[in-house]
Amino acid sequence: MKQASRISDFVFINPGFGDFISIARQINSGLQIAIVLENDVPREDIFYTTQFYPFSFFHLRKKGEKLKKWQQFVELAPHLARSEKVFYASYSQLDKWRSVVADYWYKNTYQKKSQIIAKGLRSIFSGLNNIASEGVYFQEYTFNISRFYIEMLKYFTKNGARVFVNQRVDVKNGSVDFKDSGDKIQAKEIRSGENMLKTGYRVSIEIPDGFVMVVRHSYGNFRCLGKKGLLEIYPLSAAAESCSEKKIKAVIAHYFNVHSEKMEMEKKQYLHFPEQLVFLLPPLLKKPLPCTFGGQSFDDMFELCREKFDLAKQCGINFPEFQVLFHRYGKGIDEVIEMAYEERSKKTEPDPAWNTIENDFQKMHEWKI
């Protein structure tokens, strides 16, 4: 459908998470905002993992303040957060005592309490070198930042912004010209998003899915994780971001049982999540995100997921599969379940195709073509 040419106060092209601060402030000021993405929204689940483990006792207070900000931020969309134990390769007995103090400081008890690995991880994962065979499993959290990006776009749309996805545009003389439709937006200011993507690497090393390890190397700090059976490595510090591929291979060979010469690596773009900026969002959002369950906190999510599953299981989905959808769509899962029942009533087969239902949901609400 052809859109009429319009005037906006600001146009943001390919905004990153940091730009959401400006967008929220301008919407609150009553300004007209347009958001243009030249590509699709991020469809693949991309997770950000926290780093609350203190590398020194002096970091405890700072990490504790960061944890409070994190807890406030997570309440924007608690279904997008999950608990996760992260392995920190240890170099001394002092590191292990730090985890004990950190557990007390953060009030980590029961399942959240740290697990000290003193005899090595060989029985869990044999591909680690000796230097990484001892350490601490520490309580961290993951957050689905790709879904959060989509939910923020939905929020901006509900609060007056116009969002355009998969658009080829030219920017000139205060105008954003849409190449395919011929439409244009006149704007007082046009901003291009910065630092939306950063570069990590996918490596030809087989490691278990879900294994997450943080390492501190002279070249910088890195997060290593298992995804779809292979290693992915991401920089966590400025020094790590500036490393050449040769240095990154050296880091991998230092911790994993593999020769750098035999290693195959490919670059992998991932969403940049500037947490110190993103933590500024909660007071700027005047209404709940569309995906949020009213009055439910992070601690309520598991029971709420079970409650929703009791409705969905009649349509032939198992709990692990349903958990993925629940933590992906939040409140939207209610509509997904309704769609599943509608599909079930139309067919002679008792079990609808949930992937088709999910695809239809994205077409209706998430700019999917």
Q: How many CB atoms lie within 10 A of CB 309?
A: 19
Could you tell me which residues are beta bridge partners of residue 171?
176
**292: its two tokens:** 């949020």
Domains and CATH numbers, the chain: 6-44+146-192 (3.50.50.60), 47-144+197-271 (3.30.9), 293-357 (no CATH)
pLDDT the model gives residue 198: 87
Cβ(265)–Cβ(248) below 8 Å: yes
**7: its two tokens:** 């005037």
pLDDT the model gives residue 166: 95
User: CA 164, CA 183: separation in Å to the nearest integer?
Assistant: 12
Our CA dihedral for 348, 353, 357, 360, rounded to 10 degrees, sits at -90
Residue closest to 299 by CA, chosen among 78, 139, 124, 80: 78
- To the question of pTM greater than 0.85 for the whole model, the response is yes
What residue type is 232 in one-letter code? E
CA separation, residue 143 to residues 21, 223, 315, 334 (Å): 19, 15, 28, 21
pLDDT the model gives residue 1: 40
What residue type is 50 in one-letter code? T
- Low pLDDT (below 70) residues in the chain: 1-5, 91, 119-125, 194-195, 348-350
